[in-house]
Chain A
């Protein structure tokens, strides 16, 4: 069965710290990996990664994919309390079905 595993499941840091969130996958017919941020409402899209070794960056957030080792990391530098959320990793298969297979999510708490 295809699987997406995120670690750690929860994390508490202080403002200004840098965090690294991990996502590994065991997916046949892999197409792309996506990161979402979920606060109290809808998951909001952060990044979509399809190629190994190419970093995607948006402000203090960045992400990279390793298709050989089947994992991705999401880095957040100079964390702020507004970064507190659940970070979801999800994988797309190839083929007509474009559903996302999600991990359980990583709960990040940033303390002042």
Chain B
């Protein structure tokens, strides 16, 4: 079974620029999550999708972050404009449904200069 695919693996941008990340979940997984992991911390949920609907985006900074999951499969996460504090690893995870083990992609390491 193929795992969760994410791209790019690394991204370096200057503050105030925009950036987008892509995630392809495990085939058949209805639930998709985006987490932000700052160095030395555990991952923190940004947004959760069930199929193509949003279940929880309460911790997503909506003035600069946006995410979509069109057609209930792939998802993109965008940051515009980026701030220095957005430097982190952005992890995508998927699961069969709620409360099942989540399987993570390798993440995108974002550095803001």
Residue ranges of A at the interface with B (Cβ–Cβ < 8 Å): 4, 31-32, 34, 36, 41-45, 48, 88, 90, 92, 96-100, 102-105
**B44 with A102: CB separation less than 8 A:** yes
Does B25 interact with chain A (Cβ within 8 Å)? no
Per the bound structure, the CA–CA distance linking A42 and B4 in Å amounts to 9
- Tell me which of A32, A36, A42 contacts B105 (CB under 8 A): A42
Does B72 interact with chain A (Cβ within 8 Å)? no
What 0/1 readout, one digit per residue, does chain B (1-35) give for beta carbons within 8 Å of chain A? 00110000000000000000000000000010100
Which residue on chain B has the smallest CB distance to residue A105? B42
Which residue on chain B has the smallest CB distance to residue A45? B101
Does B55 interact with chain A (Cβ within 8 Å)? yes
Per the bound structure, the CA–CA distance linking A90 and B33 in Å amounts to 14
**B-side binding surface: helix, strand, loop or mixed?**
loop
**B43 with A100: CB separation less than 8 A:** yes
Tell me the count of chain B residues lying within 8 A, CB to CB, of chain A: 26
- Tell me which of B3, B43, B99 contacts A98 (CB under 8 A): B99
Per the bound structure, the CA–CA distance linking A82 and B4 in Å amounts to 23
**A43 with B91: CB separation less than 8 A:** yes
* Closest CB in chain A relative to B110 CB, distance in Å: 15
Residues of A contacting B99 in the complex (Cβ-Cβ under 8 angstroms): 31-32, 92, 98
**B48 with A34: CB separation less than 8 A:** no
**A34 with B42: CB separation less than 8 A:** no
Question: A43 with B104: in contact, given A88-B42, A99-B45 (CB under 8 Å)?
Answer: yes
Per the bound structure, the CA–CA distance linking A55 and B19 in Å amounts to 44
- Tell me which of A4, A96, A100 contacts B55 (CB under 8 A): A96
* B:58-113 near A, CB below 8 Å: 91, 95, 97-107
